Amino acid sequence: MSGNSFYGPLHDPAGDAGYTEHPPRVGFFTDTSVCIGCKACEVACKEWNDVPVSGEGDGFNLLGMSFDNTGNLGANSWRHVAFIEQTGKPPVDLGMPEITRQTVEMVGELPDFRWLMASDVCKHCTHAGCLDVCPTGALFRTEFSTVVVQQDICNGCGYCVSGCPYGVIERREGDGRAWKCTLCYDRLHDGLEPACAKACPTDSIQFGVLDELRERAAQRVQTLHDRGVTEARLYGESPDDGVGGDGAFFLLLDEPEVYGLPPDPVVPTRDAGAMWRFAGMAASALVGIAVSAFIGRG
């Protein structure tokens, strides 16, 4: 435990959680500028982790939101690819492999809209709201500084669902327990990268040691800015943000809310001290009310 156990920059979440010797913190850098929306990550995740069908019934639900029929992250969707079609924005050359100016010319005129595609995932926050509020200890910080639910402990109280400022973790219908991305905890133990990163054909999902990913991401943003893509920005990489930085962070080409991400999430635990102080004052008021009620006759 250190001064910043619940809020603020914290370099070593696993160490803070009590691991004396542990591997370096790992995570994802999801570079959405090279995402092609193939959903291989969603499929690989489901296959490896044996995640049930998403959505109602057989799962074949057309949501009418571009090519997105998964909708959102949840108990049964641990990767979610968002699709945004924006008109009036000409596409820019992002330095994607194989796409040269010649091949674009061969297919004709450039369209006047662009695709934004982004594979969302649990952020494995430095200060995880879900983990903080879990009353059973089912949610825990792993030696890799990721956040995982122990399914043999979870009793389905649902507090984590409301504790997450990103709306990631969810209680599974018919099962009653909370589920989310484990960052393939089992694969990490065997020295393998998580299934989604392994399956990603464009390396939009990059797995690695978090410090290295942050360096790589900063370089990528610089490269894109140099090429004129000034709207490229990182989301969740800063240890100074409201959750102390995400273990899984993103390169976005528009505001976070356009992708369904909260613009400035804060771990609810930040205000816990103030909350208990107000509760203490209110409790004292109640004592005062009760005592004064018995003063006087009648």
Binders of another protein in range 130-159 (CB under 8 A): 132-138, 153-159
Q: Which of residues 172-231 bind another protein (CB under 8 A)?
A: 175-178
- Of 129, 194, 236, 244, the one binding another protein (CB under 8 A) is 129
| Number of residues forming the site for another protein (CB under 8 A) | 73
**Please, which residue, 137 or 228, has the CB nearer to another protein?**
137
**Please, which residue, 96 or 275, has the CB nearer to another protein?**
275
Instruction: In whole angstroms, give the CA distance from residue 148 to residue 78.
Output: 12
Interaction between residue 92 and another protein (CB under 8 A): no
**Please, which residue, 107 or 290, has the CB nearer to another protein?**
290
**Please, which residue, 134 or 213, has the CB nearer to another protein?**
134
User: Can you read off the two tokens belonging to residue 100?
Assistant: 């040269």
- Of 15, 52, 55, 260, the one binding another protein (CB under 8 A) is 260
Please, which residues have CB within 8 angstroms of residue 250's CB and are 6 or more apart in sequence? 29, 30, 31, 32, 118, 120, 234, 235, 236, 261
Interaction between residue 282 and another protein (CB under 8 A): yes
SS3 sequence of 24-63: CCEEEEEEHHHCCCCCHHHHHHHHHHCCCCCCCCCCCCCC
13-21, 227-235, 245-253, 255-263 -> range binding another protein (CB under 8 A) = 255-263
Instruction: In whole angstroms, give the CA distance from residue 213 to residue 222.
Output: 14
- Of 161, 183, 199, 221, the one binding another protein (CB under 8 A) is 161
Beta bridge partners of 128: none
Instruction: In whole angstroms, give the CA distance from residue 167 to residue 122.
Output: 9
What is the closest distance, in whole angstroms, from the C-beta atom of residue 233 to another protein in the complex?
12
**Please, which residue, 163 or 195, has the CB nearer to another protein?**
163
Interaction between residue 283 and another protein (CB under 8 A): yes
Instruction: In whole angstroms, give the CA distance from residue 240 to residue 10.
Output: 9
**Please, which residue, 131 or 199, has the CB nearer to another protein?**
131
Q: Which of residues 28-57 bind another protein (CB under 8 A)?
A: none
Half-sphere exposure of 65 (CA within 13 A, CB side): 17
Interaction between residue 107 and another protein (CB under 8 A): no
- Of 166, 235, 249, 250, the one binding another protein (CB under 8 A) is 166
Helix ranges (H only) for 30-147 are 40-49, 101-106, 129-133
- Of 165, 236, 244, 245, the one binding another protein (CB under 8 A) is 165
Distance of CA 211 to the CA centre of its chain: 17
- Of 61, 100, 162, 219, the one binding another protein (CB under 8 A) is 162
Instruction: In whole angstroms, give the CA distance from residue 15 to residue 297.
Output: 61
- Of 99, 110, 218, 275, the one binding another protein (CB under 8 A) is 275
- Of 164, 200, 210, 252, the one binding another protein (CB under 8 A) is 164
What is the DSSP secondary structure assignment for residue 194, as one 8-state letter?
Answer: P
> Of 264, 268, 266, 259, which is closest to residue 30 (Cα–Cα)?
259
